[in-house]
Amino acid sequence: MTSPPYDVVVRPDGLHHLESSDPHNIVRLILPQAATPSARNEQAAETLHRWLSEGVLATDPEPGLYIYEQRDGEGMLQRGIIGALRVSDPAEQVVLPHEDVMPHIVADRAALMRATSANLEPLLLTYRGDGSTTATADLIERTADRPPLLSTTTEDGFSHRLWSVTAPADLAAIQTDLARHQALIADGHHRWATYRRLRTEHPSPSPWDHGLVLLVDTARYPLRVRAIHRLLHDLPVDRAVAALHGLFRVRRLVAPLPEALEALADAACEGNAFLLAGDGSFHLVDHPDPDLLARTIPADRPAAWRTLDATVLHATLLEHVWHIPEDSPAHIAYIHDTAATVAKAERDGGTAVLMHPVREEVVRDLARQGVTMPRKSTSFGPKPASGLVLRTLDL
């Protein structure tokens, strides 16, 4: 039934695998397959209504929140709260975005949510707990000692457990605790932008005033921050490397992927660095020409933004060196899995641009300044599994 979030599924291989593994996999709702966008959305709506009528999905009889736990075999433990959060405007500084969004993806998600009248998967928000959130933290820990409402293990080795919280006193304590905190969007910028768009389309008060989220206290449960890589469809590696002559230092590495990523991490400690792949080897790109950066990167942003690898990639490499439009799916894809990015580049004759992750504190500091990073700059995880909690808006 479960799936990674819609934008993490590696299509088409991962999509087909999930579809064939279970006739009731949530991927049939979040990534419906049909000839046209309207047909896809109609199919998702019909599937959702059928699953509800057949009892595949069941509506919780009482309003409440959910305590959600993820655990892997390497000691990673994450616990948080799933619920409906009021959709706020950026000026309120309640929910802090840190990345730009692509309009065509927001339009796609909005059309799907309109058709299904549902929030099909929670986005991931983080907050930094302190002494004022002890009641929430204690409630989460106490609840996790009870038998769960649901328990499952996904293919990636993560175990997932879910508990419902319906006692009015508990719900009030959580609301009071968290009301004073800011939340950072860790994963789901496009879905949050979609929530905001759909809220404006429905007179308030309405169910569209809220959106489904998972809130995690990263002071107690630090998230892993990984990079999101780029696949440049129509740019072979030899052309990509040739265009860098005199602008960056480029070194060819004949090494397995783990060693190449270690070299990237070492280079990233000294400045902007990228790893190109797609021709059977790796090319470490670093030491950009300072004059090139001065010409291509906007000077009206904080230094922490100007020196981001994602900023240099988008403002300098994509726009000025390789002349690739960043908002065109025909030219560029954003992929979370490192090995999959390399494999697709080698198979398709394109260029994989492997990135080094950004630290969470850098992300949060920029967000508090109201500065958004280039789109798809970070991948926080573990992400909530889609398919465990949905929110329908017309019941």
Which tokens go with 147? 């038998």
* Integer Cα distance of 313 and 318 in angstroms: 6
* Integer Cα distance of 113 and 120 in angstroms: 8
Residue 175, domain CATH = 3.90.1530.10
Does residue 243 sit in the same domain as residue 341? yes
Does residue 252 sit in the same domain as residue 197? no
The three-point CA angle 234-240-244 to 5° equals 150
Q: Is residue 259 part of a domain?
A: yes
What pTM was computed for the model?
0.81
Q: Is residue 194 part of a domain?
A: yes
Does residue 69 sit in the same domain as residue 185? yes
pLDDT score recorded for residue 326: 75
Q: Is residue 1 part of a domain?
A: no
Residues in the chain with pLDDT < 50? none
Does residue 50 sit in the same domain as residue 74? yes
* Integer Cα distance of 134 and 256 in angstroms: 46
Q: Is residue 73 part of a domain?
A: yes
| Residue 373 dihedral angles phi and psi, to the nearest 5° | -85, 165
* Integer Cα distance of 200 and 149 in angstroms: 35
pLDDT score recorded for residue 256: 96
User: Which residue type, as a one-letter code, is found at position 50?
Assistant: R
Q: Is residue 6 part of a domain?
A: no
**Helix, strand, coil in percent for the chain, rounding step 5:** 40, 25, 40
**SS3 for 33?**
coil
The three-point CA angle 82-190-216 to 5° equals 30
Q: Is residue 3 part of a domain?
A: no
Q: What is the pLDDT of residues 24-66, one digit of tens each?
A: 999 999 999 999 999 999 999 999 999 999 999 999 989 999 9
Q: Are 74 and 80 in contact (CB under 8 A)?
A: no
Does residue 192 sit in the same domain as residue 67? yes
Does residue 95 sit in the same domain as residue 202? yes
Does residue 242 sit in the same domain as residue 166? no
Domain count of the chain? 2
Does residue 19 sit in the same domain as residue 145? yes
Q: Is residue 7 part of a domain?
A: no
Does residue 196 sit in the same domain as residue 280? no
Query: Environment class of residue 250 by beta-carbon count within 10 Å: exposed (0-12), middle (13-18) or buried (19+)?
Result: middle
Q: What is the pLDDT of residues 81-94, one digit of tens each?
A: 999 999 999 889 99
Q: What is the number of H-type helices and E-type strands within the chain?
A: 14, 18
Which domain does 173 fall in, by range? 12-224+381-392
Of 131, 154, 186, 134, nearest to 69 (Cα)? 154
Which tokens go with 124? 């991931």
Name the E strands within the chain.
65-71, 77-86, 95-96, 118-119, 123-127, 150-153, 159-165, 183-187, 210-217, 224-226, 229-232, 249-253, 273-277, 282-286, 332-335, 351-354, 379-381, 391-392
pLDDT score recorded for residue 366: 87
Q: What is the pLDDT of residues 302-328, one digit of tens each?
A: 888 899 999 999 999 999 999 998 777
pLDDT score recorded for residue 11: 67
Q: Are strands 210-217 and 123-127 parallel, antiparallel or unpaired?
A: parallel
Dihedral, 114, 201, 8, 71 alpha carbons, nearest 10: -100
Does residue 202 sit in the same domain as residue 333? no
Q: Is residue 145 part of a domain?
A: yes
Does residue 182 sit in the same domain as residue 240? no
* Integer Cα distance of 343 and 329 in angstroms: 18
Does residue 268 sit in the same domain as residue 367? yes
